[in-house]
Amino acid sequence: MALLTVIGRGVRVRGRVTGDADLTIEGHVEGEVDVTGEVTVETGGLLGASVSARVIVVRGAVRGDLTAGEAVRLEDGARVVGDLRAPRISIAKGALVRGLVQTGGIETTLPRAKTAAKSTPAVAPRRAPTPAPVARPAAVAPPRPAAPAAPPRPAPMPVPRPVAARPVPVAVSHAAPKGPPPPVVPALKKGAKAALKKKAT
Amino acid sequence: MAIAQTRTSSATSRHAGSSTHGGQAVIGAGTRIRGRVTGDGDVTVHGNVEGEVNLRGELFIAEGGRVVSDVNAESLRIAGALQGDVTATGDVAILAGAKVSGNVRGASVTLDDGAEMDGRLDADFVLPRELLGGIGAHDEDGPTAHR
Amino acid sequence: MASTVIGAGITIEGEISADEEIVVQGTVRGKLDAREGVIVEAGGTVEADITSGPLTVAGNVTGNISSSDRVDLQSGARVIGNVKATRITIADGAQFKGNVDMDV
C-alpha cells in the first residue's frame, strides 16, 4: 500500500524525490520526482521537475515532463509546460498545456526503470541502506532486470498508435509520424546534478 | 456551405469549395471529399475529408468520421479521427474514442479520458514566476533567466 | 500538526526549506531547514545538516544539528553529529555521538 507524503505549502524541496509511495505537492519542488504511486500537484503547488509515476494529477503549475504508467489528469487550474506521456491522458476545461501529448503504449516505461537508469553510480550505493528504494524493484513487476545497469533509456517511446495508419496527408506539418517519438527526457536534469552535489554533507 | 462532394468512396473530386454564408453541412458516412471545405457554418463529418478545412463555425468529426487535413475553425468537437494541425479561435473538445494526430491550438483544449492523442498542445499562458528559468525540465519557452 | 510529512516510502535527496513543521518518516539526504521544527520519527532517516526550531528525534540522524530551540532525542534515536541547541534531552536508550553546544 502506498504511503502518502505531503510537501506542504511552506516547503521548498530542491533535489530528487523518489520512493514507493504517493506524493502530494502543495509547496514547491524543483528537480526530479520518480515514485511508484500517485503524484498530485495541488492548486497552488509548484513543480519544476520531470515526473515519473503511476498516476499524475495536476491542479497547480508544472514545468517539466509528466510520464505516467497509468494516467495523467490535468484538472481545472492546471498550468503545464512540458510533455505528457501516459496510456490515458485527460485535460479538463480550465487546464492549459504547452507541450507534447502522447497517449498509449507507455506500459514499458515504468518509473523504476527510469530511476534505475537515471541513478548515477554515485547515488546507487547510497540507496542500499534505505528500505524504501530497495523494495521498489520488487514491488512492481515487469520489464527490465537489466535496467539498473543500462544507461540508455530502458523503454523507448512507443510507436504511434492506430492513428499511425496514415495515408499520405495533404497538409500535415507535425513531425510525429516520421518515426518513433523522441526519447524521454534524459537522466538528470541540469539542476538535479547541482542538487546532488549540494547534498553531500 | 460549399463543398466538393461525391457519393462514392472511390471517386474523388478536386475542385475547391467556395464560401457560402451560414448554414450547416453534413458529410455522410458513405461520402468522401478530397479538396477544400470552407464556409460560414458548422460541418459534421461522418465520412472522409481530405484536404483543407477552413470554417467560420464548428467542425464536428463524429465517431467513424475521418479528417485528414489541417483545420482552421472557430471550434472543434472530435469523436472520430483527425490527422492534421488544428487552429481554433474557440474551444477544441477531443472526446473519448477520438484519435488525433497533429498539433492543436485553441482558446481551450480539452481531452477526455479515453481519447488518443499524439501531437502538441499550445495554449497561451505564463507559468508562475517561481517556475520560470528554474531547474525545470522544459525550456521551450518562457523567459528563462538562466541557461 | 505538521502539514508536511515525508512518508515512509519516500526518499528526498537535495535541499528542503520550510516555514512549517516537517515530519520525516522516510529518508532525507542533503540539507534540511525548517524553522518551525522537525520531527524524525522512528524509522525516519536524515542524512543532512538540520537547521530547525525544536527538533525531536526517534529515528536516525547523521549530520550537524543547529536548533534555535530544544532538541529531544528519544529512546531508539540514533544521532551522529554535533548539536547546537538551547536545551537538550537524551532519553535512556537514545544513542548519540557528537558534541553538544548549548551556548553556555
pLDDT tops 90 at residue B146: no
How far apart are alpha carbons C33 and C20 in whole angstroms?
10
Cα distances (Å, whole numbers) of residue C19 to A8, C3, C22, C45: 9, 10, 9, 21
Chain A residues in contact with C45 (beta carbon < 8 A) = 129-130
Rounded (10°) CA dihedral B67, A98, A72, A53? 140
**pLDDT at site C31:** 92
Taking an 8 Å cut-off on Cβ atoms, the answer to whether A199 and C26 are in contact is no
- d(CA A21, CA B71) in angstroms, rounded, equals 43
* Nearest Cα residue to B112 out of A103, A70, A172, A67: A103
- Among C10, C24, C52, C65, the residue to mutate for chain A (most A Cβ within 10 A): C10
User: Do C27 and C43 contact (CB within 8 A), yes or no?
Assistant: no
All cell numbers assigned to C48: 543532512
Domain edges within chain B:
2-131
Neighbours of B132 (CB within 10 A): 17
CB of C101 within 8 Å of a chain A CB? The answer is: no
Q: Is B142 helix (H, G, I), strand (E, B) or coil?
A: coil
pLDDT of residue A116: 40
Which residues on chain A are in Cβ contact (under 8 Å) with B84?
169-172
pLDDT at B23 over 60: yes
Amino acid identity, position A74:
L
- With CA atoms as reference, report the closest residue to B42 among B28, B29, B61: B61
C-beta of residue A51 within 8 angstroms of C-beta of residue A69: no
pLDDT tens digits along B94-123: 999 999 999 999 989 999 999 999 999 998
Q: Which residues in chain C come in under a pLDDT of 50?
A: 1
Which 3 state secondary structure label does DSSP give B16? coil
Radius of gyration of chain C (CA): 12
- Residue of A89, C26, A111, A10 lying closest to B115 (CA atoms): A89
The answer to whether A8 contacts C18, with C-beta atoms less than 8 Å apart, is yes
Among C11, C14, C49, select the one facing A133 at the smallest CB separation: C11
Span of B19-33, B62-76, C1-15, C25-39 with lowest mean pLDDT = B19-33
Q: Partners of A165 in the beta sheet?
A: none
Chain A: give the shortest CA distance to residue B3, in Å. Answer: 17
Full-model pTM: 0.68
For residue A131, give its domain range: 1-201
Neighbours of chain B (3+ CB pairs under 8 A): A
Supply the DSSP string of B54-91, one letter for each residue.
EESSEEEE-TT-EEEEEEEESEEEESSEEES-EEESSE
User: Considering CB atoms only, which of C10, C22, C29 is closest to A11?
Assistant: C22
Task: Report angle CA A27, A126, C28 to the nearest 5 degrees.
Answer: 25
The 10s digit of each residue's pLDDT in C64-80 is 999 999 999 999 999 99
- From the list B111, B118, B141, which residue is nearest A160 (CB)? B118
Contact A12 C25 (CB under 8 A): no
